[in-house]
Structures are given as C-alpha cells and as structure tokens.
Structure 1
Amino acid sequence: MARGKVQMRRVENPVHRQVTFCKRRSGLLKKAKELAVLCDAEVGLVIFSAHGKLYELSTNGSMQGLIDKYMKSSRCHVEEQADGKQALESKMEVNMLKNEIDVLQKGLRYMFQGGAGRMSLDELRILENNLEVWMYHVRSAKEGILKAANKCLQEQMEMQYIVADTDPTMTNIPYPLTVQNEIYQY
C-alpha cells in the first residue's frame, strides 16, 4: 500500500508535531549515517528541537573537529577570494602608476626639449595638477622650516632676556626676530 503525498506545512496539533519531529529526526539521522557509510563522506548534522534540545551527529571524529575543518575550509575560500581581489586592485594600481610615470616623463621632455614631444590637453592638465601638488609640498616644507627656525630664535632670545634680568650689566638686547607666514601667489 502506497502512502499519499504529505503537504508541507506546519503541523498545528502540538502532540502530532512532536511525534512527527521524533520520527523525521530519526529518519534524517539514519539517512545521514547511510550517506557517510556509502559515500565515505564526513557528515555533521545539528538539530535543535522546538524546545531547544540539541541533537547532533558527527560521523568521523567529533563535531568540534568537523566544525574546525569547516571553519578552516571556509576561511581559506574567503582568503582566496580576497587574494584574487587584492591582486586585481594591485594590477590596476600598477597600471595607473605606469600611466602617470609616462605622462610625467612626457612633461619633462616637453619642458626641457622645448616642446619637441607634443602633449595632449589631458596630459597637460595631469602635469599641471602634479606640479601644483609638488609646489604645495615644497611650500609646506619651507613654511615648517621657517617656523622651526623662528621658534629656535625666539627661545634663544628668551634665554637672553632671562640672562639680562639676572645680570644688570646687560642693557642692549635686540628685539626677537619674527617670521611672518608668506603666501605665494602665482
């Protein structure tokens, strides 16, 4: 006698639901064991009942060993994907830097050879932007050096004032030097 097709929906009666859970759970565990034996596969199965009770099956070794193996395998897969993505990003960055070097070399030839090698408008814009960045860095470094020199001179002058306050014979002390921030406009 053949069984009829069971409609997949929640069993409403709690007693029938518990009976169905026990029967299906044991059937699922039996099928997992069969799969492991027939196919020489490592099978791990975790089931939590509606009441929170844990049922587990691990065919080869312990469940913890199987979980560790899974974590290692999934971590390696994620790292492989990240390595591939990182390699692609590195290639893109290398190509971008190569293009920038080419433009800069063309710019140098353009400036030093009097325009012998013609540059496109985009290349000239890139060169202009790079020159502006370089000038900004040079100005910032120059300003930092001037500020440090000014601070050093002011400290020396303060030391002279301290000495003058303690020594009444020193009367002719020059005023401290000050360096004002210069703003260059081109």
Structure 2
Amino acid sequence: MVRGKTEVRLIENAASRQVTFSKRRSGLLKKAYELSVLCDAEVALIVFSSRGKLWEFSSSSSIQKTMDRYMMHTKDVNTKHSAMAKEIKDLMSEATNMTKKIELIEAHKRKLLGETLGACSAAELHELGNQLEESLRQIRKRKVTEQIAELKEKEKSLLKENKLLHEKFKGGRMLQLNATEVQSMEVNTELMIGRPGTL
C-alpha cells in the first residue's frame, strides 16, 4: 500500500513535533554523510532545534573550515558582482554623455542649416558665420587641390603624347610638304600696300 503525500506544515502537537524532528534530523545527517562519501563533496550541516539545541555535521575537519571557504566564495562572487555593477554604471554614464553630445551636435547642425536661428544670440550668429566661412575656405582649398591634381595628370598625358610624337619623327625624318599643302597654309589678310586711305 502506497503512503499518501504528507502535507508540509507546522505540527501542532509538541510531542509529535519532537519525534518528527528527531527522525528527520537523523535522516538529514545520514543523507549529508552519504552525499559527502559518495560524491566526494564538502558538506557542512548545522541544525538548531526550536529549543536552541545545536546539531552539526562536517565532511571536512571542521565546520569552521567549510564556513571560511563559503565566506571566501561569497566574497569573490560579491566582488565580481560589484565590479560588474560598476562597469554597467560606467557604461550607462558613457551612454548618457554620448546621447547629450549627439543632441548638441544635431542642434548645431540644425543651426548651420539655417533652422532654429530665431533663438540664437548675435554672438552665436557671428560664430556660425565664421564657421561657415572657414568651411567654405576648406572646400575651396580642397577643390583647388583636386584641380591641380587633374592638371598634373593632364600634363603627364600631354608629355607622354609629345614624347611619342618626337619618337615618331626622330632620326632626321621630316615631313615633306608639297606645294599644294604650302599654299593651303598661306594666310590671307586684308593688308594693303600703299598709302592709307587709298584704294
């Protein structure tokens, strides 16, 4: 016959409570001993009765040694937790600062684009004008630099082409111009020989 599940609640009868405490305490101490032997675990068990009587079990040489180990472990865990909490706090602070910087940059950008200028003082407007002039100078300087680079590339290309033409006509070979080519090269002008004003 299967025993029913016992409801876990305070036993009202003092005698029954003492008997149950004694039996369960013995079972608990036995289980703690078995756990330490079977699994090579360090086990410490402390039990105080309702009257304040102490029962203890330790698989090591003393409960104090296990307690010291426990305290060291919790201290390490707490140190790690506090370090992690500090790091999270620092990251949150950094994120807040970055958000403020982004807001300031966006407000400045709107001002440079000509938005929300009504709230600006004369000094702020003057500063914005100076910044725009400086930006224009930098853009012009960059454009001039780019144009110089393009012209240098064009110069290299023309020098290369010139060199090829020199090599083509090198060695005394000259173009032989025939008479018709010479005539076609003559330039017609409206110059007249004689006194001015006469036809």
TM-score (norm 2): 0.48
**CA distance in structure 2 between the aligned counterparts of 1:112 and 1:33, rounded to whole angstroms:** 81
Deviation at 1:78, TM superposition (A): 1.2
Q: CA offsets per residue over residues 88-144 of structure 1, 9 Å max, x none?
A: 22234445556778869x8xxx84971329xxxxxxxxxxxxxxxxxxxxxxxxxxx
Q: CA offsets per residue over residues 29-74 of structure 1, 9 Å max, x none?
A: 0001001111111111111101100111111121111111111111
**CA distance in structure 2 between the aligned counterparts of 1:98 and 1:17, rounded to whole angstroms:** 64
Identify the match of residue 114 of structure 1 among 117, 120, 130.
130
Which residue does 1:53 correspond to in 2?
53
Instruction: State the SS of the aligned residue for 2:57.
Output: strand
In the alignment, structure 1 residue 16 sits paired with structure 2 residue 16: yes
Identity of aligned residues (%): 40
Which residue does 2:84 correspond to in 1?
84
In the alignment, structure 1 residue 38 sits paired with structure 2 residue 38: yes
**CA distance in structure 2 between the aligned counterparts of 1:93 and 1:10, rounded to whole angstroms:** 50
Which stretch of structure 1 is more off in the superposition, 86-95 or 76-85?
86-95
| Residue identity matched to 1:58 | S
Which is higher, the Rg of structure 1 or of structure 2? 2
Go from structure 1 to structure 2 and tell me whether the alpha carbon gap of 1:100 and 1:52 turns closer, same or farther (over 3 Å shift): same
Q: How many residues align?
A: 115
Higher relative contact order (CA 8 A, sep 6+): 1
Q: Considering only aligned residues, what root-mean-square deviation do their CA atoms show, in Å?
A: 3.0
Instruction: State the SS of the aligned residue for 2:131.
Output: coil
Go from structure 1 to structure 2 and tell me whether the alpha carbon gap of 1:91 and 1:12 turns closer, same or farther (over 3 Å shift): closer
Which residue does 2:144 correspond to in 1?
none
| Residue identity matched to 1:78 | N
Which residue does 1:152 correspond to in 2?
none
**CA distance in structure 2 between the aligned counterparts of 1:97 and 1:8, rounded to whole angstroms:** 55
Unaligned runs of 5+ in 2: 109-123, 134-199
| Residue identity matched to 2:58 | S
In the alignment, structure 1 residue 74 sits paired with structure 2 residue 74: yes
In the alignment, structure 1 residue 5 sits paired with structure 2 residue 15: no
Deviation at 1:11, TM superposition (A): 2.1
TM-score (norm 1): 0.51
**CA distance in structure 2 between the aligned counterparts of 1:19 and 1:33, rounded to whole angstroms:** 21
Unaligned runs of 5+ in 1: 118-186
